[in-house]
Structure 1
């Protein structure tokens, strides 16, 4: 059974656990958060906490009582062998005993009434992976774009980034010029300016600051910059080349579905639909049920119109703009997929009625 509240000093436990090899790489605040979300459980004497069929997938922090862990394996001749060892909280010890998640073929049984915390092994692995980024760990965690990227890719991306000092008033990218880099702001503020091609009017549409990123749209679309980004203050940027972006980030951030897959997901009610084209395109024709959130507004304020808990399929005319839109949404922590071929290759019903 699960105890509703943890009636123990987590700060003290985090301090003591932080001295162990397993948890020593985690910052104290992360370890505290991990412990706070780890359920505290009680096991009666004789009860089985894990069996050999399912194994031990979570780390157990024994707070009181005594357990027996048992590992079973197969020898070269096919015979079965077993090794058992006790896990107990000693009166002269640190006040806990740690049994780390060891995977399959582990059986754990309570020898006495016991009290323990169950720490998600996958969650700890992820935190430990981020910790390997050293000085870039906090920055990488703040950038949601990296949360779907394998840790090894994130490590390589940061290793290949070049730090660039910038001054107030410096133009970093210019609208309509080819895109060749992806930028992360380490410090400072930048203004995003867009010139309307119809009216030739220029307006500031966003302000970017520490840990914000820009430059991905042109790389994903394979075209020119959609805005001018100019530094408002001095600062520092990290710059990743297009070739490194394409190799390390793009494949993991733009997930595509074809029309048949999209229709099935929509019919099952598992996803919502976003049309990221221009207003005149949307008014002319659209896939039924689509919400209009143009690509140009997603970076600015369009994301606030979107349910952050839902999964979206994004489409445009051909699939190029929706790739960029899906990437931007994922940067903001929203699960999004791009429709391959866009509305151009959509073989099902299309709404042509005037809005």
Structure 2
């Protein structure tokens, strides 16, 4: 159900945002209706949403027996329901119907932060024209940036360097050493790789898409060529800036024992080394998709949104794979120490160990 932008203009702190920002949030928000006695959430729930009541009345029941009313058209109705997680109370609809709006909490914080930072007179990357900031909203919505600390956003935008590019210009070439991380601010580009002995276009990029991170994360040469189709502007971060601002929070490392527990709980163990390496020695039960084929083949092997644990020999390629997979919507961790660490842990178990 779409959200009227006028609804956002009366809510706190959305009322303080630019109209452009509210327009975008209205497209991202999700509205649901609840009937009397239905729970919007329960005490102890671990959801990822900021929740506003747009219409109707809820009763908030605390475990200690207290109850508080939350009424949409009351003065307090413009504020979100308490954002504490786990939820501290159960919210139940007590009106005939209740209309509720949900916005991803982390994304909302990032958008509010950017909206405020970009008001500074010295801010370099705000575009006042229609659609000029769409690349920012799309970048912040990327799954790969979901757990980027809000404090890192200011650093990232401060360190961005704008680069003007022309149609047909090659921005990076397969096999070259890694130097920059890029975001498409305007224009479009194609991504090609040598597959089966010939270059093949494997993806297209538009405003808000990123590229160049694979080689920076894996410390390997570029694994694709990016050529501009339409001219425009790119925003780039140097290797040092990328290492300082983006790399640490974007990667979720897991130790071998925790990786084993995740796999036992249903996570898919993914080996991103070359097939020859996998055939020589691998962890039992793992599936193999080499890093350079990951974007093309993962959908045929693993269901969207699945939990993954990725590994390679040392962790370098796993880091790049984790970033790629997060951007595609998978929940993923990289095995710290790689294959060697897992084999050492397995070798150290006693025969009777579980």
Structures share a fold, TM > 0.5?
Answer: yes
Flag the 1:124–1:42 CA change in 2: closer, same or farther, 3 A: farther
Match of 2:10 in 1: 19
Question: For the residues of structure 2 that align with 1:226 and 1:117, how far apart are their CA atoms?
Answer: 48
TM-score computed with the length of structure 2 as normaliser: 0.71
1:308 aligns with 2:268: no
Question: For the residues of structure 2 that align with 1:108 and 1:260, how far apart are their CA atoms?
Answer: 36
CA RMSD of aligned residues (A): 4.2
2:161–2:237 Cα contact (<8 Å) kept: yes
2:12–2:80 Cα contact (<8 Å) kept: no
Flag the 1:260–1:166 CA change in 2: closer, same or farther, 3 A: same
Flag the 1:160–1:116 CA change in 2: closer, same or farther, 3 A: same
1:337 aligns with 2:333: yes
Flag the 1:270–1:155 CA change in 2: closer, same or farther, 3 A: farther
Match of 2:65 in 1: none
Question: Aligned with 2:14: secondary structure?
Answer: coil
Flag the 1:86–1:177 CA change in 2: closer, same or farther, 3 A: closer
Question: Aligned with 2:230: secondary structure?
Answer: coil
Flag the 1:213–1:42 CA change in 2: closer, same or farther, 3 A: same
TM-score computed with the length of structure 1 as normaliser: 0.71
Aligned pair partner of 1:127 in 91, 105, 108 = 108
Match of 2:144 in 1: 145
Deviation larger for 276-285 or 139-148: 139-148
Question: For the residues of structure 2 that align with 1:102 and 1:139, how far apart are their CA atoms?
Answer: 27
Question: For the residues of structure 1 that align with 2:57 and 2:214, how far apart are their CA atoms?
Answer: 57
Structure 2 unaligned segments of length 5 or more: list them.
44-48, 62-67, 116-132, 348-354
2:181–2:238 Cα contact (<8 Å) kept: yes
Match of 1:282 in 2: 278
Q: Size of the alignment, in residue pairs? A: 310
Question: Aligned with 1:207: secondary structure?
Answer: strand
Structure showing the higher helix proportion among its residues:
2
Match of 1:178 in 2: 177
Flag the 1:160–1:107 CA change in 2: closer, same or farther, 3 A: same
Aligned pair partner of 1:273 in 269, 281, 304 = 269
Question: For the residues of structure 1 that align with 2:287 and 2:27, how far apart are their CA atoms?
Answer: 40
Higher Rg: 1
Residue 216 of structure 1 and its aligned partner are, at CA, apart by 0.9
Residue 225 of structure 1 and its aligned partner are, at CA, apart by 2.0
1:274–1:291 Cα contact (<8 Å) kept: yes
